[in-house]
Amino acid sequence: MDGLLLFNKPIGWTSHDAVDFIRRRIGQKKVGHAGSLDPLATGLLLMLLGRGTKRSQEFMASDKEYAGTMTLGLATDTQDMEGRVLFEGDASRIEEGQIEKIMKRFCGEQLQVPPLFSAMRCQGKKLYEWSRRGVFVEPAPKKIIVRQFHLFHFFPPEVHFSVACSKGTYVRALCDQFGRELGCGATLSSLVRTKVGRFSLADALCEGEIGRLSLKEIEKRLVSA
């Protein structure tokens, strides 16, 4: 098979788990993805099949959109709910207007330091490999663009939001910095990737659907790459 398969990655899976699943399901080794998702995140993962793998860099350069939740009053070393708690702050007086004001300030071009628990490479290893060894390395900040940061709902201490951003943006790091700006700490508690470039999660197949469909039916769902 050659082309692009839109996959709704389930929670708990690494992006490589998704590649292995598709390889086994279609009986084809030449399968890759265009832009990883953390295990705790769900949503749209672009699976590249056959000749589609040649366009990996093109798809990885696409803007991304997410819907997520961050929990105020908490900061962890992984910048998500699985990490070790580093700080607990008082978020009881935070108001919706403060949140919206800071979200507006976050829009635009900026430098972002990648999370220490991430797959970003630094000094020959992935950052999470250094962190798990207890070795601190300081990654270089990366230029990112936050095109839109929108508040859906504020149900204290949870902030439900959407964000549209450039490639290489870590939403975990965005939430951590957001908490610093508020002064109470914030940690990403859930994340769904809803869009990659022109491709939407609404058109993606989930694990169960791919398991039920025949190979011919799966091939019909491929997007030409």
Per-residue pLDDT tens for 129-168? 665 666 666 767 899 999 999 999 999 999 999 999 999 8
Name the catalytic one among 2, 17, 20, 38: 38
DSSP secondary structure letter of residue 19: H
Q: pLDDT tens across 170-216, in order?
A: 999 999 999 999 999 999 999 999 999 999 999 999 999 999 999 99
Q: pLDDT tens across 118-138, in order?
A: 566 666 666 556 656 666 667
81 has pLDDT over 80: yes
Average pLDDT in the 34-53 region?
Answer: 94
Q: Is 38 a catalytic residue?
A: yes
- Predicted local distance difference test score (pLDDT) of residue 76: 94
Domain locations along the chain: 3-61+197-220, 64-196
Tokens of 152: 């859906």
Would you say 170 and 115 are in contact if contact means Cβ atoms under 8 Å apart? yes
Classify the C-alpha dihedral 61-62-65-66 as positive or negative: negative
- Predicted local distance difference test score (pLDDT) of residue 216: 96
Task: Provide the pLDDT confidence category of residue 114 given band limits of 50, 70 and 90.
Answer: confident
Tell me the CA distances in angstroms from 40 to 10, 21, 147, one per residue in order: 9, 18, 24
Give the strand pairing for 41-49 and 31-33: antiparallel
Q: Let me know if the fold of 3-61+197-220 is the same as that of 64-196.
A: yes
Q: Which CATH superfamily is domain 64-196 in?
A: Pseudouridine synthase (3.30.2350.10)
Nearest to 106 by CA among 188, 173, 37: 173
Give me the chain's average pLDDT, please: 92
The reply to whether omega before 157 is within 30° of 0 (cis) is: yes
Q: Please list the residues that pair with 32 across neighbouring strands.
A: 48
Pick the CATH number of 3-61+197-220 from 3.40.50.11540, 3.30.2350.10, 3.40.50.300, 2.30.110.10: 3.30.2350.10
